Structure 1
Amino acid sequence: MKGKYSQFRAMMAITKGSLRAIFRSPSAVIFSIAFPLIFILVFGFIGGGSRVSITVAFDRQTDTTNPLYPAIRSIAGINVSPKSAEELQEDLEKGRITAVINISKTGLENPPYRISLTSSEATNPQNIQVLQSILNAVIAGINQRTYTNIQTIAVLNNNVKKIPGRVYRTIDFILPGQLGFSLLSAGVFGVAFLFFNLRQQLVLKRFYATPVRRSYIVLGEAISRVIFQMLTAVIIICVGHFIFKFTLVHGLTTFAEIMLLSFIALVLFMGFGFIVSSVAKNESAIPPFANLVTLPQFLLAGTFFSIEAFPTWLQPICRVLPLTHFNTAMRNIAFEGATLASCWKELGVLGIWTVVVYAIAFRTFKWE
């Protein structure tokens, strides 16, 4: 007497066959592993710790009645943090801000003010130098308009007070963006081409002649993608950590949380791929539809530059994108030692996107 048909074994057989096909696909390997690694290598060799933008704060004891204060705040290249003293101390230690500026009266006629900076070891020294140059330029500009060649409104204290902090490198910003790049590319392009070709070649139709349920067919193909991309994530993180000193604050614990976060994001991104595979009428229509999903996120989600570098009107759009929240959560977990639970806002946004995307995917998905 024959045993009961095993849906699970059938699903795993589909997973195994699909996984072999993925590893034999040059495009899958190039987009998932090669491209992100190339970007990591390029940015890793360019510099060891450059920041994307200069963010500062003013000490609570700063004299705000002088012309220096509004002049510094009005500079487009400087972002002023409005946080409390406790939050600023934490931001300073973690390298989120370049320096805290204190403008104080000297009690002298020349110069009447002194500017002092407090920074941390987590800040790139080049950013301190840039900030000092900007402040000297502000002083020179006010002197030119108000003071003689002998007098000056202020003097900049070149002895920067530094507090202990974790060293923030370029790779700590770049690698999360490149991992997101890999997951989004594979989730959208990989799934879209896969299921479109399965329908076009009547593979799905042939599966109907077997006892395998439809849900197990989709799960089998999906699991193979997940396995491949998780292996890709491991490779990317290991290259960044062991070659370029990508920060994993709590070691294996941080690595495990990053992998779980990557899995959550990949499930969401695969939903976009299901939608694209269903709405595309032919294979040549897949790239345009897929690029509509991926390209805005590659450019606006903090993949290569901080979203603070974009115009103010564009930043709310950036913060809606799911890849933005993946990048933010991963950077917080990897560098700042946050947990997945503390990233509940980012996970909540990813969860909302997942519900919406799969609701559309279930309505649009086609079997033939």
Structure 2
Amino acid sequence: MKQEYSQLRAMVAITKGSLKAIFRSPSSVVFSIAFPLIFILVFGFIGSGGKINVNIAFDEKSDTANPVYLGLKNIPGIKVSPKTGMALQEDLEKGRITALVNIKAAADSAQAPYTIHLTSSEAANPQNVQVLQSILNAVISGINQQQYPAAPTIASISKEVKKIPGRVYRTIDFILPGQLGFSLLSAGVFGVAFLFFNLRQQLVLKRFFATPVQRPYIVLGEALSRVIFQLITAVIIILIGHFVFDFTLVNGWITFAQIMVLSFIALLLFMGFGFIVSSVAKTESTIPPFANLITLPQFLLAGTFFSIDNFPSWLQPISRILPLTHFNNAMRNIAFEGAGLSDCLFELGVLGIWMVVVYAIAFKTFKWE
């Protein structure tokens, strides 16, 4: 008796073949795993402490025999430049040094014993100048409390700070979700676009038509290989972030599983963009420009490196429309705040709306030959 042809078995065979081809492609491994890991490693190392880092220098005429000078030098995060003369002036003009500090003893006994003058450059970060001023005020306030404890004041701050349990929010907790989202977006758009364009150009799809495999199973087989590969990369990225840089997974494996489900949903959406690009591109050289029109705005505006609250008010509504923004928000809520998928219904709803729109366009534009 003749055995009935299995579409499912054929789809699995296509998936296996496509998956082997992906792992044999150096570019797939580099852009899916190595590229986001480089960003994670960089931001993981520079953001592990979260401490201040302000470079200053003392004027050659500055008074150094006073408690303010000693207090400022001993603060962690304050780096004092040893340079003098023209080298110091050049660093100051180019913003390498936040400010030149000059502590002068007051000539009039009726004034405060010392006057502090700051010299800065327009090239210096204004926020660092404000941080330095706040540090100086704190140092002076501390000295005043030690030397004049009975002096009248409108209020005093208790030295004892009551602390409640809480999680430390590290730079990696913000950066890793953005990098994972961009990895999924890039793989979904570029990977699928190049894959199906080449399958058409090399007449592979046409050869498939000569077999009993039905068209939906061909697409599912190829798409499933991309999903498996990208979920593997997601696992690698999350595990390295967690075990090397202490990326927060509030509820452990439960949080990890929810992140994988979220990544799967987002990847399906991003692959829809890839189907569209593969169909509208006339030549292989036109795929990158079309793909970049989709990926670059989201890479820059979807809160990958910093919060979209820092953007101008007119730009924030545009950022909040982008699907990568809602993936990033949902993942950060799940990973750090302990939210579940049921708590991210708004973000999932927006991704769902995008998926309906994107695949409606993909079905209209997709070409088999």
Same fold (TM over 0.5): yes
Indicate how the Cα distance of structure 1 residues 247 and 132 shifts in structure 2: closer, same or farther if over 3 A, else same. farther
Aligned counterpart, 1:321: 322
Partners of 1:195 and 1:298 in 2: CA distance: 24
Question: For 1:185 and 1:158, how far apart are their aligned partners in 2?
Answer: 50
Q: Given the superposition, is the C-alpha separation of residues 23 and 320 from structure 1 closer, same or farther in structure 2, using an over 3 Å criterion?
A: same
Q: Is 1:205 aligned to residue 206 of structure 2?
A: yes
Q: What SS is found at the alignment partner of 1:290?
A: helix
The 2-side partners of 1:216 and 1:25 are apart by 23
- Alpha-carbon shift at residue 130 of structure 1 (Å): 4.4
Q: How much does 1:162 deviate? A: 3.8
Counterpart Cα distance in 2 of 1:256 and 1:173:
19
- Which residue of structure 2 aligns with residue 48 of structure 1? 48
Instruction: Provide the rounded CA distance (Å) in 2 between the counterparts of 1:132 and 1:15.
Output: 61
Q: Structure 2 length as normaliser, TM-score?
A: 0.72
Partner of 2:23: 23
Query: Taking structure 1 as the reference length, what is the TM-score of the superposition?
Result: 0.72
Equivalent pair of 1:48/1:170 in contact (CA under 8 Å): yes
What pairs with 1:235-250 in structure 2 (closer than 5 Å)? 235-250=236-251
Contact 1:49 1:171 in 2 (8 A): no
**How far did 1:132 drift?**
8.6
Where structure 2 has 5 or more consecutive residues not aligned to the other structure, the ranges are 52-126, 139-151
The 1:245–1:358 alpha-carbon spacing in structure 2 relative to 1, beyond 3 Å, is: same
Q: Do the aligned partners of residues 257 and 230 (structure 1) sit closer, same or farther apart at CA in structure 2, a change above 3 Å counting?
A: same
Alpha-carbon distance between aligned partners in 1 of 2:215 and 2:137, rounded to the nearest angstrom:
68
Structure 1 residues 170 and 287, CA gap change in structure 2 (3 angstroms): same
The CA deviation at 1:27 is 1.0
* Identical counterparts, % of pairs: 83
- Counterpart of 1:286 in structure 2 is 287
* Alpha-carbon distance in 1 for matches of 2:288, 2:263: 23
Q: Superposed, which structure 2 residues align to 1:51-90 within 5 Å?
A: none
Equivalence for 1:67: none
Q: Which amino acid aligns with 1:238?
A: L
Residue identity in the other structure for 2:210 = A
State the distance in 1 between where 2:18 and 2:350 align: 31
Checking the alignment, whether the CA contact within 8 Å between 1:257 and 1:339 is kept in structure 2 is yes
Aligned to 1:110: none
Distance in 2, Cα, partners of 1:235 & 1:221: 22
Tell me, what secondary structure is at the counterpart of 1:14? helix
Deviation at 1:308, TM superposition (A): 1.1
343 and 135 in structure 1: CA distance in 2 versus 1, 3 angstrom threshold: farther
Amino acid of the residue matched to residue 40 of structure 1? I
Deviations 1:264-298 (A, max 9, x none): 00000000000000000000000000000000000
1:156 Cα deviation after fit = 7.4
Rate the CA distance shift 1:306–1:211 in 2: closer, same or farther, 3 A: same
Separation in structure 1 between the aligned mates of residue 40 and residue 131 of structure 2, nearest angstrom: 25
Q: Secondary structure, in 3 states, of the residue corresponding to 1:326?
A: helix
Q: Aligned equivalents of 2:158 and 2:197: distance in 1?
A: 64
In structure 2, C-alpha distance between the alignment counterparts of 1:50 and 1:366, rounded to whole Å: 51
- The structure 1 segments of at least 4 consecutive aligned residues displaced by more than 2 Å after TM superposition are 129-137, 151-164
- The alpha carbon displacement at 1:174 in A equals 0.7
Matching residue of 2:338? 337
Letter of the 2:28 partner, please give it: A
Q: Where does residue 309 of structure 1 map in the other structure? A: 310
Report the structure number with the largest CA radius of gyration.
Answer: 2
Matches within 5 A, 1:336-355: 336-355=337-356
Q: Render the CA deviation track for 1:48-94: whole Å, top value 9, x for unaligned.
A: 2549xxxxxxxxxxxxxxxxxxxxxxxxxxxxxxxxxxxxxxxxxxx
Shift of 1:157: 7.2
Give the aligned partner of residue 105 of structure 1.
none
Aligned to 1:3: 3
Give the residue type in structure 2 aligned to 1:38. I
Distance in 2 separating the partners of 1:313 and 1:160: 40
After TM superposition, give the deviation of residue 133 of structure 1 in Å: 2.3
Q: Distance in 2 between matches of 1:284 and 1:308?
A: 36
Tell me how far 1:153 sits from its aligned partner. 9.1
Question: What SS class does the counterpart of residue 163 from structure 1 fall into?
Answer: coil
Contact 1:49–1:168 under 8 Å retained in 2: no
Question: How do 1:102-117 and structure 2 match up within 5 A?
Answer: none
Residue 38 of structure 1 aligns with which residue? 38
Corresponding letter in the other structure for 2:171: T
In the alignment, residue 265 of structure 2 is paired with which amino acid?
A: I
